[in-house]
Chains A and B, each alone.
Chain A
Amino acid sequence: MFEWLHIAVPPAPLFFAQLLVGLINGAFYAMLSLGLAVIFGLLNIINFTHGAQYMLGAFCAWFLLNWAGIGYWPSLVIAPIIVGITGIGIERLLLRRIARLDHLYGLLLTFGLALIIEGIFRQQYGSSGLPYTIPPELQGARNLGFMFLPNYRAWVVVASLGVCLATWFVIERTRLGAYLRAATENPILVRAFGIDVPRMVTLTYGGGVALAALAGVMAAPIYQVSPLMGSNIIIVVFAVVVIGGMGSIFGAILSGFGLGLIEGLTKVFYPEASSTVIFVIMALVLLVKPAGLFGRTA
């Protein structure tokens, strides 16, 4: 039916399989854009280092495995903590000094940091990447009838959904989240109530960074642990956050999964466009709704 467009419509089982694969990619986009949205929404910092911190999470998992013999499951907890602490260091030493200035300075600073971190790792480890095996409990695949679903990828979808929902719950439904949101709107007033705002800001930045590192640990077994992995994904994640709305947690999660699906479909029908479709959508959304789909206009 669509031959004149050179588009081949695949059979139904392959179609559902591609949707599932798109969902899995969407899980990574959602986790990463969640961290970015948390940092921007609550702290007004455009954190370009996010991709490098995702890469640091994966490398941390690799170091833990190869230098300390610590496997995947403990790394899921330890690596985000370690990278989160470095994030806290960055916030304390660098970001705090430019907090009063225009957003662009934060963007430039974090972008420069990302280049430095990536450059150091690339100098040391090359660009081809290092191997990290899937943990034995998650190896193998399940025959779903329409495709073989690798167990590890199923775990990624479930875990990232869990993490995203937990983060959303903490920010939107708990008292701590309420303090955070209040501190973003009016830090002076919140401080007057005796709440330590600078400490909350630091911990929130560390938390966002830890989310990126967690995504990195989960990505390590499927993509090579490579210094380039952050820069490859960060631009797409920024587009996802912009589409979802820069301040909206829920928007980031929804558009992460949604755009993963759309990218997956593009790979089926017109793969040559799969690296650009998300930006096309971003351009269209910005034309119609400049604050993003779920964003609140300032």
Chain B
Amino acid sequence: MSRLAKLAIAAAVLGMAAGAQAQTTPDTIRVGVLADMSSLYADLGGPGSVEAAKMAVEDFGGSVLGKKVEVVSADHQNKPDVGSSIARQWFDQQNVQMITDLTTSSVALAVQEVAREKNKIIMITGAASSDLTGKNCAPTAIHYEYDTTALANGTGAEVVKAGGKTWFFITADYAFGHALQNDTASVVEANGGKVLGSVNVPLNSADFSSYLLQAQASKAQIIGLANAGGDTINSIKQAAEFGIVEGGQKLAALLLFLSDVHSLGLKTAQGLNLTESFYWDQDDQTRAWSKKFFDRTKKEPTMTQAGVYSATMHWLEAVKAANSIDGPTVIKQLKSKPINDFDIRNGHIQDDGSLVHDMFLYEVKKPSESKGEWDLYKLVATIPGAQAFKRPHGNECPAVKG
């Protein structure tokens, strides 16, 4: 091997050694933000969630029970095996006591198993699948911000009641897409509608033209997009190209984040209905917190990022009140009181781990109605928690089943 190559390898090895984690001391408690930092979901959680967690720790005072609190973060790359091995290493070696964000349902489900095994707390603000509090429910997991049931009862029910009776789904082919499609189909059928067909699309596809053609051919009134992030953006953009709406069909973006609408632009996204749990410009409370977030990140927060702040803050408060970092003890403390802040309204954690709270139905503004770069939504309706999180077919979680 040439001398240059040997030098290069030596430099690389030294570089890797320098990147080793600091030794953990029992005097530091860590909060882990496990998110998609670099791929199609990075804008709805990602580095913004890390900032939100840091803000919460700072605002709480930086320490709890006499120990310093630190935020660590990692990129799960939307791979369940990567996510669960990071979670395992965090729980075992880094004194991480709570993991949050957890965007991407397949990763969240895998990490939930690790949390179940180790009795540690996870507070999910990114992933959506209702299975997290359904058949996969775990005692130390809290599904914090929203789930596919709420999306189905929000956007799904609204669209059916407005006359969209026949549906065709374009579904991201993994846990989240299937959960969202199933929950929305239940709501559609419960309201007198019919599902005409569906197509499964690999995650992170760039081109939806083929699937949109199939949706067009089905002649369904509503094309339900059971996907998120970059996939939804591409679907909506390409639907405009193929004249879907001119042809008489409507799009139902079942999961749409502020970051998606900002990326699409109001010209393309105007009129879309969506269900979220938080909007930065909704009232004085949301505006006050969002300003602090904007000053740090130069972007307005999505509901996942707001959820990370809220979850971290409430977890720290519960640890202090329970005088313990033990998972089940802190969970009991969290479940004992309602949760009400700028992000969660009228919230209460149920036995299955889902945080039932008010959801909001928004409509994307027309370009003429918007007065600023991030002035994107208008509030259409408030959906009370009990209605939003109601499951038409009951819940399979052992903790709540009869």
Which residues from chain A sit less than 8 Å from chain B, CB to CB? 10-11, 13-14, 17-18, 21-22, 24-25, 122, 126-131, 133-134, 141, 147-148, 150, 152-153, 222-224, 226, 228-229, 232-233, 264, 267-268, 271-272, 274-275
Contact = CB atoms under 8 A, between A and B. Distances in A.
Interface string B165-201: 0000000010000000000000000000000000111
A128 B230 contact: yes
A130 B373 CA distance: 13
Interface string B195-209: 000011110111101
B242 A271 contact: no
Contacts of B202: 271-272, 274-275
B260 A128 contact: yes
A233 B206 CA distance: 9
Contacts of A127: 38-43, 46, 230
B264 A21 contact: no
Given A122-B38, A150-B241, A222-B241, A22 B210 contact: yes
A25 B241 contact: no
Count class of interface residues, chain B:
35 or more
Nearest to A141: B243
Contacts of B205: 274-275
Interface string B232-267: 011001100111000100000000000110111101
Interface in B328-379: none
A126 B211 CA distance: 26
Given A21-B213, A127-B40, A223-B234, A232 B206 contact: yes
Nearest to B41: A127
Given A21-B210, A131-B265, A223-B207, 20 more contacts: A10-B217, A126-B43, A127-B230, A128-B259, A129-B230, A130-B263, A134-B241, A141-B242, A147-B216, A148-B216, A150-B242, A153-B241, A222-B241, A224-B230, A226-B230, A268-B214, A271-B173, A271-B202, A272-B173, A272-B202
A24 B212 CA distance: 15
Contact of B243 (A128, A133, A148, A275): A148
Contacts of A222: 237-238, 241
B83 interface: no
Nearest to B263: A128
A248 B14 CA distance: 41
A269 B53 CA distance: 45
Contact of B268 (A126, A128, A131, A226): A131
B262 A128 contact: yes
Interface in B293-352: 299
B229 interface: yes
20 contacts: A18-B213, A21-B210, A126-B259, A128-B260, A131-B263, A131-B264, A148-B216, A148-B247, A150-B241, A153-B209, A222-B237, A223-B237, A224-B237, A228-B39, A267-B210, A271-B199, A271-B210, A272-B173, A274-B202, A274-B205
